[in-house]
Structure 1
């Protein structure tokens, strides 16, 4: 049921959202943007970025680098589906992957990807792109588009609102109703100030997933 007590704005707002399907924090932020979009007229374009690409030139432990490389499966399959089916498939595919990866905590891409493709009635042969580098150039181009908006010293997600881009916010759990809108207005407002660069505090909780959404 829609919360009729929250603010509404008449104009449509262009939003771009870059995510890596592996990232639980990007997933939390995406649920917040979904909540805002229920009450505000947002035109959200969902785009892939890659934690592997983000960290490939960084000094990170080998075990972490291996995990990031294995995680390329999900950005690749989303990109392959977008190239074949268009931008409109990206969000449903992200939602389905997030349900398996984050809510159900399923960790084997060899099981997750076929299940998600079947759920969305997508071509089973898209699976082949997940374990090759055939669409990596397109993954990197999408990733770089987001990074070019905010610089290298960021993570996922990246959001651009009417051309104003920022990393995050990193939140848990995703707020609802007026609280979600208040956070949205505050984040967008500070991001629009040209001299604003960073606001941060230590995380005290992990991702809190709302499985009822």
Structure 2
């Protein structure tokens, strides 16, 4: 509908929260998140950011929409869907790409500060955590959301918006 340059980068909640005191359920979530984040970092290192832009939604559909938390099956299936070598799934259980994952996460923290999560976005050289959406807007609605984010990014005083989640997540 109009050209927008979009680039995905790895931001790891596991890295952000690794030394924080967390509730047990959230600690388990973060500990398990190392695997998919490591695979994403491996994909960027070996195939570039465009490949991550294909992999990320394939992972999201399986993990969130289909509620499949078996990462050992989710990751290879998502890699195959994204047209990437399925062997990259092995990176989930290795630390080979942790340095790249930590560096990418650190870049996001430098832009936003310590109080960040996913998604973190940068628009017009301003970065912030959010917007958190329960589904993917399409067409004119997507443009309105993007324009709203750009408008907020242009206001130096903007800090935060938040409300309770009204729907389950959907990547459809």
Q: Cα 1:110–1:173, aligned 2, differ >3 Å: closer, same or farther?
A: closer
Q: Cα 1:99–1:171, aligned 2, differ >3 Å: closer, same or farther?
A: closer
Q: Secondary structure at the match of 1:165?
A: strand
**Counterpart of 2:50?**
88
**Counterpart of 2:168?**
207
Higher strand residue share: 1
Q: Cα 1:138–1:194, aligned 2, differ >3 Å: closer, same or farther?
A: same
Match of 1:156 among 118, 136, 159: 118
- Tell me how far apart the structure 1 counterparts of residues 114 and 169 of structure 2 sit (CA, whole Å): 27
- Tell me how far apart the structure 1 counterparts of residues 24 and 169 of structure 2 sit (CA, whole Å): 28
**Counterpart of 2:73?**
111
- Tell me how far apart the structure 1 counterparts of residues 171 and 96 of structure 2 sit (CA, whole Å): 35
**1:147 is the counterpart of 2:130:** no
**1:189 is the counterpart of 2:157:** no
Where structure 1 has 5 or more consecutive residues not aligned to the other structure, the ranges are 1-38
**Counterpart of 2:139?**
177
- Structure number with larger C-alpha Rg: 1
- Tell me how far apart the structure 2 counterparts of residues 189 and 113 of structure 1 sit (CA, whole Å): 36
- Tell me how far apart the structure 1 counterparts of residues 153 and 63 of structure 2 sit (CA, whole Å): 30
Q: Secondary structure at the match of 2:122?
A: strand
Q: Give the conservation status (yes or no) of the 8 Å contact 2:118–2:129.
A: yes
Runs of 4+ with >6 A deviation: none
Which one has more relative contact order, counting CA pairs under 8 Å at least 6 apart?
1
RMSD: 1.8
Q: Secondary structure at the match of 2:121?
A: strand
Aligned residues: 172
Residue 146 of structure 1: CA displacement?
1.1
Residue 121 of structure 1: CA displacement?
4.0
- Tell me how far apart the structure 2 counterparts of residues 53 and 136 of structure 1 sit (CA, whole Å): 9
Q: Secondary structure at the match of 1:47?
A: coil
Compute the TM-score of the two structures, normalised by the length of structure 1: 0.73
Match of 1:168 among 123, 130, 136: 130
- Tell me how far apart the structure 2 counterparts of residues 192 and 43 of structure 1 sit (CA, whole Å): 18
Compute the TM-score of the two structures, normalised by the length of structure 2: 0.89
**Counterpart of 2:62?**
100
